[in-house]
Amino acid sequence: MNRKSLLDLAKKHGTPLFVVDHAELRTNYALYKKHFPRVQTYYAVKVNSDPAIVETFYRLGGSFDVASMQEFHTVYRLIEKLPAKERQEFVWDKVIYANPIKPIETLRELDQYRPLVTYDNVEEVKKIAKYAPRAGLCLRLQVPNTGSMVELSSKFGTPPGEAVDLIRCGHEHGLVVEGLSFHVGSQCTNPENYVQALHLAAGIFAEAKLRGYELKLLDIGGGFPAAYDASVPKFSALARKINHEIDRLFPRSIEILAEPGRFLVASAGTAVCKIIGKAVRNGKLSYYVDDGVYHTYSGVIFDHCTYHLKSFKRGTPQLCAVFGPTCDALDTISLSEQLPDLEIGDYLYSENIGAYSAASSTHFNGFPPATVVHVNW
């Protein structure tokens, strides 16, 4: 969005403000589909679960990766008016419950929908067999996460050497293991993570087949990076490398899934905040704004992400600190922003803040989350 439109929205709706541009969502979705024509796109709802965002991807024909029952129902409400058979087909074909560890209560509720779910250990197989026996299984592998902004393999994934035994375990408990999944880590800028993971998966496909287990699908997870800065590899180059390995290692009969999230929504979100205080601390100009790390800038803490702030006014930039509105010193957005000398009441904005950010907002210290405004919807 242009600066004038952002400023007009801030004056109309107040701050803090979180603006979602659905034209950008559609552009990103089309770009992903263009570069991954063989891949079924499952939007990772956790990245931003705003129902309007989910609905935009639904209208585009998207599928969904959910990791909680709340996320599942955010998707399911879009199809509740369909006939029962079509609802069931939608859940099976277009929803994956991709949290490898699920509470018993969740499994009990999920069973009626007969979904595809991930798992990565024997105890999870036992739970699923008892409480959601109609679910299909997808075994999550532990794969390299080198160079990814958020590492995930220390928490989830079975070692490749144990994979076929876990496939056998699923079948011995009366379940059907449909395929494999992996995740190379969030904001993955190292394409070799995908290459190594695909090779590991191909080896397990072959070993499983020798032992009598025919796998039908491969979920290559998420990690597709948003273009936060010039250091991020070109998406087209990353796609070429991944597609080459997929086509070389897996026949067309194997269904390929992916769970992009950040790539689809990061550039569609913009935050606008207002300066509520100004001081000089240790010789550095410091601004206090009405948004912070407990709200839209939560990615500073939880996502290891850096969001730069820009001014609507021109002026000679100087090194500044920017703090959020709460009384907690942790509420620090940045200690090294280049901003001009501004006044209380002036506005700042941050681009490319659509992923995670607002999804992790709290009411800490009594400060409410930013108002969300949807444009081009």
Catalytic positions are 327
Which amino acid belongs to residue 249?
L
358-362 CB contacts, 8 Å cutoff, 24+ apart: 358/18, 358/48, 358/50, 358/269, 358/295, 358/296, 358/298, 359/46, 359/47, 359/48, 359/49, 359/50, 359/298, 360/298, 360/299, 360/302, 361/294, 361/295, 361/296, 361/298, 362/294, 362/295, 362/298
Helix axes of 122-131 and 163-172: crossing angle, nearest 10 degrees: 20
Q: Is residue 225 within 8 Å of residue 263, measured between CB atoms?
A: yes
Determine phi and psi for 250, rounding to 5 degrees: -130, 125
Running DSSP on this structure, what letter comes out for residue 298? G
Token pair for residue 277?
Answer: 């205080």
At residue 231, what are phi and psi to the nearest 5 degrees? -75, -15
| 3-state SS class at 314 | coil
Backbone φ/ψ region at 323: left (φ over 0), alpha (ψ -120 to 50), beta: beta
Any bridge partners for residue 373, and if so which? 19
CA proximity to 349, closest of 286, 265, 290, 280 = 290
Which among 300, 301, 287, 308 has a CA at the least distance from the CA of 352? 308
Q: Label residues 50-79 b or e (16+ Cβ within 10 Å = b).
A: beebbbbbbeeebbbbbbbbebbebbbebb
